[in-house]
Every structure is written in structure tokens, then in C-alpha cells.
Amino acid sequence: MTKICVSFLNIKDIEDFLSLHPEIQLIEVRMDMGQISDEDLARIFSLPVEIVATCRPNDFMSDQQRLSLLEKAILAGASYVDVEIESDFIKDILNDAGSHNCKTIISHHNFEGTPSYKELQDIISACLLYSPDIVKIASLVKNDNDMENLKRLYQDFHSIIAIGMGIKGVETRIHACDWGAPFTYAAANKNDPAAPGQIDYDVMKILCNV
């Protein structure tokens, strides 16, 4: 069964969106996409849905600021926390998550292309050294071989999400759960995707027969 995680870049939209879509079970809050107060953070992470706390590297936040936001989200009740394999504070996040019943996603993103299959295996193996609940790989798909390499990962690993970004990677989003992913991602707003090629929730439901 397909489970869709809806990504929100604007937290002010979340409660209105959920009132229109009470069936939604899982959302992602992108805390790197704008300023979020402690009051808003506490309110959002107390909503009656599972929430993935995400704060990607960006030009206006230091690593310490990102770590602080993720730790606050964990304390406020995040169901999952997503941290990049390249982050220096992985162990801090894992310790906090483990103390607060928060599941962990260790992720890797490549906006330039999809690495070779051997490189993808090595990246996942590096993530697994931290014993996360889920490993997420997201890479730009340029051709059929890239797409097949992402799909093939499901044969060799469990509890992974392998997403192909861009137009040519859309199939990986639609069929992720069919291939073994615990969930896939969709945009809350078709004009505001969280990643290249991300499909909005209403369309994703149709494509996935949800």
C-alpha cells in the first residue's frame, strides 16, 4: 500500500491543508525554507499526524542553527528526523532521537546526477553504519540507466527510499512503495515542490491509486 508523505515549505499552510485532507497520515516540515519560531515549531509538531523534521543545508543557517532546530523538533514530538550523511552532527541527532522515540532518516542528495550503482551502494552502506530506521537517496535522473540503478537498490537493501529527481525520475516516486519504500513524497502545492520533479499530492493520489 502506498503511503504518501506531503512536504511543506510554508508551515502556515499546514493546518488549513490538513483540514481539507484529513486522510493524510504523514507530512514533512522543511524548516530550512523559512524562519520558524519556537511557538510555531511546538504547535506544528503537536499536530495529530506523523511528522518528518527536515532542515537541509542552506545559505542562511549555520550548522549549529540547523542542529538546534532539529533538536527542538525532536523534543516537540517529531515522528522522524531527517539528517544528511554529510552532516557533522549526525551522532548528536541520533542520540536525541533515540531518547525521544523519534525515528531516524539518514539521507543523501545529488542534484547534479545519479552516481554509479557501486557508488550508490557505498553511500547506503555508509548511512547504515549509523543504524538509521530509513536511508533515503535522492538523485537527479538523466537517463534510463540512472532510473534502473535507483530501482535496483530495492533488491539489495531494505528500509530505503530511492527517489529520482527531475522529469525522468517520476516513476521512482510513483512506484517507490511498490518496490519496497516505507513511503514516498509529494508536494503540498503544485507550484511549490520541495525537490525537482516532485508531484503535488492530489495528482500523486491519482497516480498511485490511493
Range from 3-7, 97-101, 190-194 carrying the lowest mean pLDDT = 190-194
What's the confidence (pLDDT) of residue 133? 98
**Mean pLDDT over all residues of the chain?**
95
Q: Kind of pairing, strands 134-140 and 103-110?
A: parallel
Q: Which domain holds residue 89?
A: 4-207
Q: What span, in angstroms and rounded, lies between the C-alpha atoms of 70 and 16?
A: 24
Number of domains the chain is built from: 1
CATH of the domain at 193: 3.20.20.70
Q: What letter would DSSP give residue 198?
A: P
> What average pLDDT does this structure show over 88-92?
96
State whether residue 140 is helix, strand or coil: strand
At 11, is the pLDDT very low, low, confident or very high (cuts 50, 70, 90)? confident
Q: 34 or 199, which is more confident?
A: 199
What's the confidence (pLDDT) of residue 210? 84
Element (H, E) at 104: strand 103-110
| Residue 26 clears pLDDT 80, i.e. is over it | yes
- List, for residues 160-196, the tens digit of each pLDDT value: 999 999 999 999 999 999 999 999 999 998 888 999 9
